[in-house]
Structures are given as C-alpha cells and as structure tokens.
Amino acid sequence: MKLKKKATFALSTAFLAMSLLSACSSSSESNSSTSEKPKDEKVTIKYYNWDNELMQASTEKYIEQFEKENPNIDVEHVSLVPGNSLETLKKLDVLMASGESIDLFMAPHIDAIYQRAAQGVVAPLDDLYKENKLKPEEEYYVNPKYDGKYYGILNNISTNFVLLNKDALDEAGLEVPKAGWTWDEFSEYAKKLTKGEGTEKQYGAYFHNWGLYANPIAQVHLKHPFMTEDGKTNFTDPSYEYFFNLRRQMEKTDKSIKPYADVIGAKLNYRTEFFNGDAAMLLTGTWMIADTGNTQQFPHEFKTAFAPVPVQSKGDKNEIFTGGNYLAIGQSSKNKEAAFEFARFISTNLTDARTELPGWKKGDAKPLVEKWIAGKEDYYDVDSLMSTLFESTEALPASDVSITFAAELDKILGDGFSQFILEDKSAKEVQQWMADEANKVIKENEK
C-alpha cells in the first residue's frame, strides 16, 4: 500500500505578513553541521535544478554567499533542462538509475519527493536534523514524511491567484475582483474584456494546458489535487462537470479564451500571452510576482492587478492549496552533511537572492514583496497585490493522503480534458472515464 500519511500544514497566507523571529541567526544555525570529511578538506557538491537565465542569477547569488561563509564547500550548479521542471526530473531519474552521485536537487512539488523516497533514491533527513538540533515543524511550514521519516526541505511556498490587466479593466469599467468572486463571474469578466479580431484580438482570459487549468476548483480548493481523504479518486467530484462545461462555453460560445487546440498546437507561453496583451486575465501563481515588474524580459506598459482564485459558488470558503519547491539530498551522495548545510542556507536565506516566498517559518514575507516591487510600483496595483497575498485567502490544511503516482493521475486528467474539448464528448462521459482510469492506477499502487 503506497498511500501514506504526511505532516499537516495549516498556514494562513495572512500569517505570512507577520514579523516572526529575526533571520539574523539563520546562518549560524544552518551552518553548524560538520562535513563527513575533515574540516580542512575541501568538498564539492553538485546541485541540480531547472534554472532558466533569470533563475540562474538568483542561484549564483546563493552560491556566492554560501561559499564565502563556507570556504571548505564548493557548489557546482547543474541546470538539467532550463525552464522545465518535469523534464529535469526525468533526466535526474536517469542519472540516479545510472549510479551518478546526486548531492542535492530541487523538486517542483511534494509528490516528486514521495515518489523518489519510495524508490529509495532520496536520503532521509532525520539524523541531519537531530545533529543540528533542529525540529522540522518549528522550521518549515510543510515537512514531507514517508514511512515515518522526513524527506525534503521546503524552499519556497507558492499559491495561486489571478493576474488582471488593470488598464483593460478600467477601459471595460470593471472593478478589481475581491475574495469570494465566482467562476461564473470570472467568465462574465472574460466576455467583457474580449475585444478585437484576428491577430489583434484580446481574449478575456488565457488557460494553459496544465492540469491546473482543466479544473482549478479541484486543483486549488480541495486538500489534494487528485485524491479524497479516504484514498479514492476525486475525479468524481461535481466540480469537474461544472468547470469542463464552463470551459466549453468560454471557448465555443463566448469565444473569450483562446482555443485549446491553439494552445497545445502552437506551444504557447502563458507569460507571453498575458504580458503581450493577448489575454486580459491569467490564473497563475506567486512565482510571477517578480515577473510583473520585469519589463526587460516581459515588455509591457500596463499595470497589473491581482485577485484571489474564484470559488465555485457564492459563500464557498476561500481556502487554497499551497505548494512549493523542495530541496532533497540524494541517497547516493557522499557529502550529505555539506548538502544539508547548503539546503538550509538556501531555504532560510532572506537576502536579495530570494525571488519567491519562503517556506521557512521564521522568515517574514511582506518585506520581501515590498523589496521585489520597489521602484516598479507603476506596474503593480499594490493594494490588490498585498490584499490577495496577505489578507484574502487562507491555506487549506494539508491532505492526510500522500501518493507516489500523481504524475499518472495528472496525465489522466489531461487526457480526459482533451477528449472533452477536442473530441466533443460529454463531461459526464469523460468524468466517468477519468474515474475508471484513476481507480486502475490506485488499485495497482495498493499492491
């Protein structure tokens, strides 16, 4: 049976705004571990991730700062597939299978940690936490556990929100939405924000080809994006039929979103669709806070507003799933303590190297956001940004169910949505097919 319990996570995003303990002592705490080799012997660790050019600059700052404080540890940075976390995991698995020594790697979500912990290629962290006199629950908001052992250090937290072209809103006479707005209201906004024809057309919204966009109600507002708390598929949830049909209405009837066939056929970039003005609204996540003011890489002149993810019905709780990236140490590493020191350094670092919200409990996120947007306020509707991040939503308690086969369920969701939108099948028919396929996967993994 591969359904495991994991540590609970109950964090209000408003709580991120509170000043907690000072970060000043983080370096001495995080660097107290000793290396497996003598102190005067230099070691080199390899750190694998999917950094693109922009992310590379942040990593280089981390490494420069770390090596200055830890002269006996060199960090070699390897970006396996720049800008693509899923392909990076595939390449990483090949390296692990070939016996390559993996010191430290970044994982894009918690299930990637569970899967590799189950395979025995990720090192448990219990002894390292104990040696450094650290209690994980006091340090990080989420602490992945598999078979009772800790795996993965939460580097950053990410939540979803909606970006809106504020200039387009003003032109259409629309207010910036508040917490509690519904997906029906989102579709009405999309209709009113759609204008023009052909290559000059501005769509009201853009939906990418990820599972998030097939049914954000399940992906954002349920405890687990694929499973119920009793270990069954959530593909039977009524939200699938509702949202699938809403997507069809927006694409086929309202023509307020770019056709799904164009999205996958042209391999569109969601950032480009929004910042080029091709779409006035974009469901996305907190990793795009910095992108909004980065007009060098994403040229645009309009101001961006922010809104919480819509709910299905008026009065629904505005609780949202909170994910993040995790640092994990390879079981094959010969320098686990040095890798742990670097993982701690990254995850507790609140300097200008950080470009995402920290997963460290003792870090204060609001000054970070203020620093990110400083001097670029003309591109941000600051009030809606701060309200959305720190006042409007709360994080869902973590699911008690962890799985190692999330990628298989995500593929079923993608295949099912494609059948619905491209082959014109009914939502009920496709939903039943997805549930049947998911049950096969779950049964296979229960053996």
Torsion sign, CA atoms 304, 305, 310, 314: negative
Give the tens place of pLDDT for each residue, 299-344.
999 999 999 999 999 999 888 888 899 999 999 999 999 999 999 9
Give the tens place of pLDDT for each residue, 125-150.
999 999 999 999 899 888 888 888 99
At residue 1, does pLDDT exceed 90? no
- Tell me where in the chain the CATH 3.40.190.10 domain(s) lie: 20-157+324-363, 160-320+395-445
Torsion sign, CA atoms 305, 9, 342, 363: positive
Q: What is the pLDDT of residue 413?
A: 98
The Cα–Cα gap between 272 and 266 comes to 13
**Identity of the highest mean pLDDT range in 8-17, 66-75, 132-141:** 66-75
The Cα–Cα gap between 234 and 240 comes to 9
At residue 114, does pLDDT exceed 80? yes
User: Which residue is it, tokens 């080799």?
Assistant: 37
Q: What is the pLDDT of residue 398?
A: 65
Q: What is the pLDDT of residue 201?
A: 96
Q: What is the pLDDT of residue 4?
A: 42
Q: Is 326 helix (H, G, I), strand (E, B) or coil?
A: strand
Give the tens place of pLDDT for each residue, 215-258.
999 999 998 999 999 999 999 999 999 999 999 999 999 999 99
At residue 43, does pLDDT exceed 80? yes
Q: What is the pLDDT of residue 439?
A: 98
20-157+324-363 is a CATH 3.40.190.10 domain: yes
Mean pLDDT of 4-8: 37
Q: What is the pLDDT of residue 3?
A: 44
Q: What is the pLDDT of residue 318?
A: 87
Q: What is the pLDDT of residue 446?
A: 84
At residue 17, does pLDDT exceed 90? no
Mean pLDDT of 341-365: 91
Please name the amino acid found at residue 250. Answer: M
At residue 25, does pLDDT exceed 50? no
The Cα–Cα gap between 48 and 330 comes to 11
C-beta neighbour count of 149 within 10 angstroms: 14
For the chain, give the mean pLDDT: 89
Q: Which CATH superfamily is domain 160-320+395-445 in?
A: Periplasmic binding protein-like II (3.40.190.10)
**Residue with more model confidence, 26 or 314:** 314
Note whether 216 and 160 are within 8 A (CB). yes
- Which range, of 22-26, 165-169, 286-290, 359-363, averages the lowest pLDDT? 22-26
The Cα–Cα gap between 293 and 308 comes to 19
Q: What is the pLDDT of residue 275?
A: 98
Give the tens place of pLDDT for each residue, 381-422.
999 999 999 898 887 776 778 787 888 999 999 999 999 999
Torsion sign, CA atoms 200, 201, 206, 208: negative
At residue 9, does pLDDT exceed 80? no
Of the candidates 287, 352, 333, the one whose C-alpha atom is nearest the C-alpha of residue 62 is 352
Torsion sign, CA atoms 296, 298, 303, 308: negative
At residue 95, does pLDDT exceed 60? yes
Per-residue pLDDT band for 14 (boundaries 50, 70, 90) equals: very low
* Residues in Cβ contact with 159 at an 8 Å cutoff, skipping those fewer than 6 apart: 13, 285, 286, 320, 321, 322, 323, 393, 395
At residue 22, does pLDDT exceed 80? no
